[in-house]
């Protein structure tokens, strides 16, 4: 099991990035959440099988078609308290 917090920067708000992340995480059987940040970035907590987490992190460099990702910062994190993957409100 692996848990990481991601901060994705670039053109990632208003381009369906959060919805894309929810779909991508659920299809990989991952737990966690995703939300917009007031600074224009997207933040996600992703937890699950090491290979599936790594695969999602790799996919986050592209995101949905309209996104233009500049950076994906990755930091270790504690796993989420709830199972499943969901979209949270902007913080």
Q: What's the average model confidence in pLDDT over 52-77?
A: 98
Q: Residue 46: its pLDDT value, please?
A: 98
24 phi, psi to nearest 5 deg = -65, -40
Tell whether the model's pLDDT for residue 87 goes beyond 90.
yes
Which is catalytic among the residues 5, 18, 28, 62? 18
Cβ count near 56 (within 10 Å): 22
In a 3-state reduction of DSSP, which class is residue 20?
helix
pTM: 0.96
Tell whether the model's pLDDT for residue 91 goes beyond 90.
no
Q: Hey, what domains does the chain have and what are their CATH numbers?
A: 2-81 (3.30.70.100)
Beta strands 85-87 and 31-36, pairing class: parallel
36 among known catalytic residues: yes
Which is catalytic among the residues 36, 37, 86, 91? 36
Q: What is the pLDDT of residues 4-51, one digit of tens each?
A: 999 999 999 999 999 999 999 999 999 999 999 999 999 999 999 999
Q: Please check whether residue 9 is in contact with residue 71, taking contact to mean a CB–CB distance below 8 angstroms.
A: yes
7 among known catalytic residues: no
Q: What's the average model confidence in pLDDT over 81-89?
A: 96
């Amino acid at each position: 099991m692996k848990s990481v917090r991601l901060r994705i920067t670039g053109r990632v708000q208003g381009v369906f990035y959060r919805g894309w992340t929810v779909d991508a995480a659920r299809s990989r059987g991952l737990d966690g959440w995703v939300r917009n940040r007031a600074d224009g970035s997207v933040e996600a907590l992703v937890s699950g099988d090491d290979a599936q987490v790594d695969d999602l992190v790799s996919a986050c460099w592209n995101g949905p078609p309209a996104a233009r990702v500049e950076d994906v910062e990755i930091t270790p994190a504690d796993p989420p308290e709830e199972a499943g993957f969901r979209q949270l409100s902007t913080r």
